[in-house]
């Protein structure tokens, strides 16, 4: 008798789990994924639930003065600009790869002299169209700022070698199917004295594949569209960079100023705005911080002198 009930309970649990998986895949592929690429339409709605009319797509760099999402977003952009030495009056030709809705490029355009040129590229036609509409409204010339649709893996198909003396990648490379190919492309487009500045997400060196850690990592990878081959530690990530024609000259780990304050701000404001009990925010903040498997790094890279590696696809 007990044996029969055990079998029935087992069948019921398997059926429930399979149904949950069906719903999981449905919501994932309907709202967050389009094949191997991330869809931001639904994600941007979540962001704007806690930060009205905010089209920045980064975790932000948080401190006492930059304690709202939009301020933290802008602060991270400014931090990247400083690392790229973009505050000078020099004539610069800049490429922003993975520009999203272009908010960082409008911020950057204000800081530069009119002789500088920015080309911003993104895979999403919808985001590029949005950015171009904003550019027209702001009456910014295409000669100063241009948004184009393109694949980060194929940069050498769009641009001449040694064309840019600054290349920026703001929180986008961890999405790419072949991050090594992207690094190799960057090295071919960068001038001899140019700088490549990237903010990227890697696995913590202390990451341990416990059941909860693996569960959170799999869910995060699904919804953030992180290919399995990009789930690597900083040590392995550095090897990817060094295997290209680039060398890291400066590296900052800003993890403590990104994920933790972001989760706190997001969940507290989202739960409050949805009129849900405050304790739910506390639970979510604790859960995300406990199993958060990523490190957030910013690297400044230069082209390696006296070394040439033919471009390979």
> What secondary structure does DSSP assign to 117-131, as a single string?
EEEEEES-HHHHHHH
Q: DSSP state, 233?
A: B
Structural domain total, the chain? 2
Quote the pLDDT of residue 208: 86
For residue 94, tell me if it sits in a domain.
Answer: yes
The count of other CB atoms within 10 Å of the CB of residue 205 is 9
Structure tokens at 24: 């999981």
SS3 helix, strand, coil % of the chain, rounded to 5? 50, 20, 30
Q: Looking at the domain assignment, is residue 310 inside a domain?
A: no
What pTM value is reported for the model? 0.88
Nearest to 147 by CA among 95, 82, 192: 95
**Residues 6+ positions from 310 with CB-CB distance below 8 Å:** none
Kindly state whether residues 58 and 6 are assigned to the same domain.
Answer: no
Residue 203: CB atoms within 10 Å: 18
Q: Are residues 9 and 133 in the same domain?
A: no
Quickly tell me which residue has 């600054």 as its tokens.
166
Within 10 angstroms of residue 224's Cβ, the number of other Cβ atoms is 15
- Provide the residue range defining the domain that includes 82: 40-303
Residue 313 within any structural domain of the chain: no
Other CB atoms within a 10 A radius of the CB of residue 180 amount to: 16
pLDDT of residue 43: 79
Which region, left, alpha or beta, applies to residue 149 given φ > 0 means left and ψ of -120 to 50 means alpha? beta
pLDDT along the chain (313 residues), means of 10: 55 54 56 62 84 94 97 98 84 95 96 92 94 96 96 94 94 94 95 96 90 82 85 95 94 97 96 92 91 94 71 46
* Alpha-carbon gap, residue 146 to 121, rounded angstroms: 8
Residues 79, 10 within the same domain:
no
Are 14 and 63 in a shared domain?
Answer: no
Which structure tokens are listed for 218?
């799999």
C-alpha angle with apex 28: 22 to 29, nearest 5 degrees?
90
Task: Tell me: do 11 and 121 sit in the same domain.
Answer: no
Q: Which residues of 43-75 are buried (b: 16+ CB within 10 A; e: fewer)?
A: ebeebeebbeebbbbbbbbbeeebeebbbbbbb
């Amino acid at each position: 008798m007990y044996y029969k009930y055990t079998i029935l309970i087992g069948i019921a649990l398997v059926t429930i789990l399979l149904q949950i998986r069906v719903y999981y895949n449905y919501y994932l592929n309907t709202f967050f994924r389009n094949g191997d690429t991330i869809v931001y339409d639904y994600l941007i709605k979540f962001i704007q639930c806690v930060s009205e009319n905010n089209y920045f797509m980064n975790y932000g760099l948080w401190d006492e003065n930059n304690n709202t999402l939009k301020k933290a977003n802008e602060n991270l952009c400014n931090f990247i600009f400083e690392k790229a030495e973009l505050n000078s009056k020099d004539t610069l030709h800049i490429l922003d790869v993975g520009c999203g809705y272009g908010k960082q490029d409008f911020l950057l355009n204000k800081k530069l002299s009119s002789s500088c040129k920015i080309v911003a590229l993104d895979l999403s036609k919808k985001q590029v169209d949005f950015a171009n509409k904003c550019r027209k409204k702001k009456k910014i010339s295409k000669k100063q700022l241009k948004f184009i649709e393109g694949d980060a893996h194929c940069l050498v198909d769009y641009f001449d070698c040694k064309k840019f003396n600054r290349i920026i990648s703001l929180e986008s490379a961890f999405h790419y199917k072949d991050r090594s190919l992207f690094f190799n492309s960057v090295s071919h487009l960068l001038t001899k004295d140019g700088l490549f500045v990237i903010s990227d997400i890697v696995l913590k060196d202390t990451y341990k594949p416990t059941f909860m850690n693996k569960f959170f990592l799999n869910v995060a990878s699904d919804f953030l569209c992180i290919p399995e081959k990009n789930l690597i530690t900083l040590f392995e990530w550095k090897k990817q960079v060094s295997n290209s024609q680039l060398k890291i000259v400066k590296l900052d780990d800003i993890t403590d100023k990104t994920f933790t304050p972001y989760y706190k701000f997001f969940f507290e404001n989202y739960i409050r705005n949805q009129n849900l009990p405050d304790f739910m925010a506390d639970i979510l903040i604790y859960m995300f911080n406990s199993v958060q498997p990523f490190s957030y790094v910013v690297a400044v890279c230069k082209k390696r002198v006296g070394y040439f590696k033919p471009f390979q696809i």
